[in-house]
Amino acid sequence: MFKFELLKTAKDSKARLGKITTNHGEIETPIFMPVGTRATVKTMTPDELKEIGSQIILSNTYHLFLRPGTEIIEKAGGLHKFMNWDKPILTDSGGFQVFSLSDNRKITEEGVHFRSHIDGSKMFISPEKSIDIQNILGSDIIMAFDECAPYPASHEYIDNSMRRTLRWAERCKEHHKNTDNQTLFGIIQGGMYKDLREISAREMVDMDFKGYSIGGLSVGEPIDLMNDILDFTTDFMPESKPRYLMGVGSPDYLFEAVERGVDMADCVLPTRIARNGTVLTHNGKIAIKNALYKEDFSALDKECDCYTCRNFSKAYIRHLFNVDEILGMRLATIHNLYFLLDMMKNIRESIRGDYFLEYKDDFYKKYGYK
């Protein structure tokens, strides 16, 4: 079961309001997906994730393949059961992590040979293998195996890489049989080259996937360049299918993505920065370890209704971080995820009410974005 309903397109931009239905429930779009790389959104229980409004989480083929391995997750009855998360899960194909994390990798037409970043053992992932692993995981939305090319890279490099990713996408589609329960998305690549983005988008759309991801962005390029490529790319994507921008999760990137017609995004940013004591607030980011907050008994964000902000002060959370107490990381994670999920909810409301750009403007002014 997979359905995408486009409920509304904004008048003031390309922003869209929609709804995805999967076997594990509905997802309101635009949505932010918390990342649970190793079958856990770090420090959070499933109940806590639900309480802050997570509708779908993301996990990673690459990491779960290395540890605990597919056999154990298969024995557990799939990833949902293994981690006790009964709402939708999206898995990435490994096509990003194998390039960013592994050692000694060698790309061939067949797939990618690499050494595990954990114990150096020899591994191989091909398009077929990635689909096999994701079939065992049982995630609701699965990704085609791709190459996320580095930035910067030459036109020639991106051309070859993008065309190989197209051939790999064909093989993924051919190999994926569990189509009633798991929906495969194709990933558009093409680096920062519009001619290559256009070819990638057109060919992926011709292959008729149920949804399309935009990969190879937010890889170190300036935000204006990303916005330009993104704006260009979404124009080639069908209105009737969800659009997922991979690896984006700071407030400004999310607003810019939604403005250009993106429906889904994920990033480790809110959870990762939380664990080193960086907190998102309506007035911008703050570093909670700062001595400024030593005697500040107010909430992290006075406008936030999360569990952390309803119950604890900056001074207390600063103390937890300073003495390395793990509750500090948990409270900061709860707050950062709540902050982004609440922001996405407000974005959806603003699209519904035809005031998306006004909301963006107000948010930016307060947050301190230009």
Annotated binding site for Zn(2+): 304, 306, 309, 335
> Which residue(s) pair with 143 in the sheet?
185
- 112-115 and 122-125 strand pairing: antiparallel
Q: Which stretch binds Zn ion (CB under 5 A): 85-93, 196-204, 282-290, 307-315?
A: 307-315
Q: Which residue's Cβ lies closest to ligand GUN? A: 215
CB of 332 to Zn ion, least distance (A): 9
Q: Running DSSP on this structure, what letter comes out for residue 189?
A: -
Rounded-to-integer distance, Cα 145 and Cα 68, Å: 21
Q: Which residues, 112 to 151, sit near ligand GUN by CB under 6 A?
A: 143, 146, 148
- Which CB atom, from 275 or from 335, has the smaller least distance to Zn ion? 335
* Cβ neighbours of residue 206 closer than 8 Å, sequence gap 6 or more: none
Residue from 215, 249, 277, 328 in contact with ligand GUN (CB under 6 A) = 215
Of residues 101 and 287, the one with the C-beta less far from ligand GUN: 101
- Give the DSSP letter string of 317-354: HHHHHHTT-HHHHHHHHHHHHHHHHHHHHHHHHHHHTT
The partner in contact with residue 96, picked from ligand GUN, Zn ion, none with C-beta cut-offs of 5 to 8 angstroms by kind, is: ligand GUN
Site mask for ligand GUN (CB under 6 A), range 72-111, x = bound: --------------------xx-xx---------------
Residue 305 and residue 370: Cα distance in Å, rounded? 26
Q: Which does 146 bind (CB under 5 to 8 A by kind): ligand GUN, Zn ion, none?
A: ligand GUN
Tell me whether residue 30 or residue 95 sits nearer to ligand GUN (CB atom): 95
Q: Tell me how far the alpha carbon of residue 286 is from its chain's centroid.
A: 23
Residue 203 binds what, of Zn ion, ligand GUN, none (CB under 5 to 8 Å, by partner type)? none
- 309 contact, one of ligand GUN, Zn ion, none, CB 5-8 Å limit per kind: Zn ion
Local structure of 106: helix, strand or coil: strand
Site for Zn ion (CB under 5 A): which residue of 35, 304, 337, 343? 304
Q: Which residue numbers belong to the known binding site?
A: 92-96, 146, 189, 216, 304, 306, 309, 335
Q: Which is nearer to Zn ion, 212 or 338 (CB)?
A: 338
Looking at the DSSP bridge assignments, the partners of residue 21 are 3, 26
Distance CA 84, CA 47 (A): 9
What does 92 interact with, of ligand GUN, Zn ion, none (CB < 5 to 8 A by kind)?
A: ligand GUN
Distance from the Cα of residue 297 to its chain's centroid: 34
Binding-site member from 18, 111, 191, 247 for ligand GUN (CB under 6 A): 247
- Three-state secondary structure readout of 221-279: CCHHHHHHHHHHHHCCCCCCCCEEECCCCCHHHHHHHHHCCCCEEECCHHHHHHHCCEE
Catalytic positions: 92, 266
Residue from 133, 196, 280, 309 in contact with Zn ion (CB under 5 A): 309
Nearer to ligand GUN, 155 or 302 (CB): 155
Structural tokens at position 213: 């991801």
Give the residue with the Cβ less far from Zn ion, 39 or 320.
320
Residue list 311-370, contact with Zn ion (CB under 5 A): 335
Give the separation between CA 264 and CA 30, rounded to whole angstroms: 6
User: Cα separation of 280 and 292, whole Å?
Assistant: 16
Report the partner that residue 247 touches, choosing among ligand GUN, Zn ion, none (CB closer than 5 to 8 A by kind): ligand GUN
CA distances from 355 to 9, 145, 264, 329, 348 (A): 12, 38, 20, 35, 10
**Residue ranges binding ligand GUN (CB under 6 A):** 92-93, 95-96, 143, 146, 148, 187, 215-216, 246-247
**Residue ranges binding Zn ion (CB under 5 A):** 304, 306, 308-309, 335
